[in-house]
Chain A
């Protein structure tokens, strides 16, 4: 059991969850995740860690409301107990001093990229941050990310910002405009964002790491649900990843596998809604 210290809606459909988890707070590193179950009926879902605080013994995550289990999580309140909050799982991001790092975040990945950007900055790199949102009202943690970035960009599909364009085009523009070279790109967000960023940087040969988000069950290497093909080899995201070279990932396979339970998800949601709103 872990106590919820804070649960709030950041922007429509994206929630922040801060949980009392002293052991995890003590040990976790950028890029790692936790497995969460909202109640005994729930699914075991992976959530990337977006921040932590050793003094408060807390671990924070940002999640997108998609299926039944995340809907349940979004209704939990401060003081509630989460039956399962286990981790920190997965390999941490390989943080090194390589020069200039471009961090891309979209959706829940705006939260998840924060500790990665912070760590690259602390390691002495120049950090350029690019956040992708569909519209201005979906942006959160802007100040937090600016505070760990040397340069800050937004890609958006509305007219609120000057840069109305898809993330890959802005990314390409940044790469082209730069006089100095970009040594690494790190992207976290929906599968499409990570795919698009990998495609955009491929012609330039810039190392692009992505934090993959396949379906998981146990999250400890036991079940093999999260297998992905990377460079022609099958890898288990939960123990071999979650970070992989975006230029080597078999994206088509990942897109397909993520859709394995689309119909079930709808059925599950309908069932649950009927149960809680009879």
Chain B
């Protein structure tokens, strides 16, 4: 479910102001609501499953101009656009869609960028069906919402291919230095927002490439790295400095950076330690955490081994444990690396899967097998210490648990063997421990996550903010970006007030 969120007054007024513009009103009246409702949802063109499950090129091809305009015409341009309240970064959705209908794609891209520095990414990886599109009034009326995500992707791609990437006006320099820790979705968002406000932003990244989960986790076939790099280049044009191979908490601490003049901090260091099930045989060769498997393939380009030095094990029969987006990315990766059988093993049933519906559908088309209500209880190795099978047990669903999903309960006597030569454990991760460890003053929760004031994303340390998986444990790209936006606005206020304090 989307986070329940009241649209702030300021945003409501802005939406209304756009809504009342003459061109908008004329466009709205040009086609009746009844006619708009008759237009079918425009299908996202995609590559043939049998072709795409053998390489790492992108699955979705993107809407064409004509289709995009038609899709945009489906939007009823409601006076009270509920979709906006489903967006964690509060994009002015109706305005950008109506600009598409009007054919002004560049203006549309700029409209999105007022709220979201990374539209090419969000248009591809956001779970729209449980956010903006869930609350779309057209969905209430006809059952089929406007394809907001596909349109977002369209305008962003349009802007990129036109090489007409607009650099917004940047406020005059404030002289404040801000350190952003981690170049993932949360950190990139904070950096973009604060740079626009005239602060001097440095992103410190532990890995050798920026993007966080967008580079090491999400595969090329879902998010081409070219899109990510374009968006990072955009941030550089805003004046953001990137320092790679620098681990805050290790290479230098927050206190060290304070001495270098950094006034405010944002911690977006992300998910750290992968979770394992702690069952027998889990350290056999051929059992990966999803983090390791995807990092080898995506960040280290293991799919292009030996052109790249980092190898990755290829399995004929690969089981991926879990039902989230990471599990699906892993299983589809295994298929692309040549697995004859690539299988999802999930302890609940299909409806409880946390993955995006589109990804589940894509996986099915590509020949991924699903074993629902199943969980491994131990792994069996061969004489070389390599996994050869896993013993599983069937589950049934009981009462809903704290997450609201029905709790899986093992069925006695239902154990069975499944032959596998590769297993990938994708059951989530715990927050990265490096920063909390090096800052004992930082208040953390039960799971090692950093505790924040949700209104501002400020931590227990003054001037230190946090967001994304280091706070949430394991969430989505867009929620991390939402945190980034909230933090950026609070940090801007904090910095401006500190200036006033100094003057006083």
Contacts and interface: CB of A to CB of B under 8 A. Distances in A.
Tell me, yes or no, whether A binds B: yes
Nearest to B282: A234
B433 A239 contact: yes
A267 B385 CA distance: 21
A222 B295 contact: yes
A65 interface: no
Contacts of B270: 222
A11 to B, nearest CB: 25
A223 B308 contact: no
Nearest to A82: B245
B357 interface: no
Contacts of A44: 208, 300, 310
Size bracket of the B interface: 35 or more
B372 interface: no
Contact of A257 (B250, B273, B285): B285
Interface in A36-52: 37, 41-44
Given A89-B250, A236-B273, A220 B432 contact: yes
Contacts, number: 127
Interface in A195-232: 217-218, 220-225, 227-229
B23 interface: no
Contact of A222 (B278, B291, B300): B291
A67 B273 contact: no
A271 interface: yes
Given A217-B296, A225-B292, A253-B385, A27 B252 contact: yes
Of the listed residues B274, B301, B306, B307, the one surrounded by the most CB atoms of chain A closer than 10 A to its CB is B306
A166 interface: no
A217 B305 contact: no
Nearest to B285: A260
A267 B247 CA distance: 33
B434 interface: yes
Contact of B306 (A85, A221, A268): A268
- The residue among A69, A224, A225 with the most chain B CB atoms within 10 A of its own CB is A224
B380 interface: no
Interface string A38-80: 0001111000000000000000000000011100000000000
Contacts of A222: 216, 270-274, 291, 295, 432
Given A217-B295, A217-B300, A223-B295, A86 B272 contact: no
Nearest to B306: A271
Contacts of B291: 222-224
Contacts of A159: none
Interface string B189-203: 000000000000000
A261 interface: yes
A253 B283 contact: yes
Interface in A236-273: 236, 239, 252-253, 256-257, 259-261, 264-265, 267-268, 270-272
A23 interface: yes
A68 B309 contact: yes
B309 A42 contact: yes
B246 A83 contact: no
Interface in B155-213: 206-208
A84 B311 CA distance: 19
A24 interface: yes
A167 to B, nearest CB: 25
B289 A223 contact: yes
Contact of B385 (A67, A68, A88, A256): A256
A142 B434 CA distance: 36
A87 interface: yes
Interface in B288-345: 288-289, 291-292, 295-296, 300-301, 305-311, 313
Scoring B206, B246, B282, B284 by chain A CB atoms within 10 A of each residue's CB, the highest score goes to B206
Given A27-B251, A234-B276, A268 B300 contact: no
A257 B181 CA distance: 33
Contacts of A223: 274, 289, 291-292, 295
Contacts of A256: 284-285, 384-385
A23 B249 CA distance: 12
Contacts of B278: 234
Contact of A224 (B206, B273, B307, B432): B273
Interface in A78-114: 83-89
A272 B305 CA distance: 11
A65 to B, nearest CB: 14
Contact of B247 (A67, A86, A257, A261): A86
Nearest to B271: A222
Contacts of A84: 208, 245
A41 B250 CA distance: 25
A267 B432 contact: no
Contacts of A217: 292, 295-296, 300, 310
Given A218-B206, A264-B311, 16 more contacts: A23-B251, A42-B309, A43-B300, A43-B309, A84-B245, A86-B245, A86-B247, A88-B250, A89-B247, A220-B272, A223-B291, A227-B276, A227-B283, A253-B385, A256-B285, A256-B384
State the 3 A-B residue pairs at the shortest beta-carbon distance, nearest first: A256-B385, A264-B311, A271-B306
10 contacts: A41-B308, A89-B250, A217-B296, A222-B272, A222-B273, A224-B288, A253-B283, A265-B311, A268-B311, A272-B309
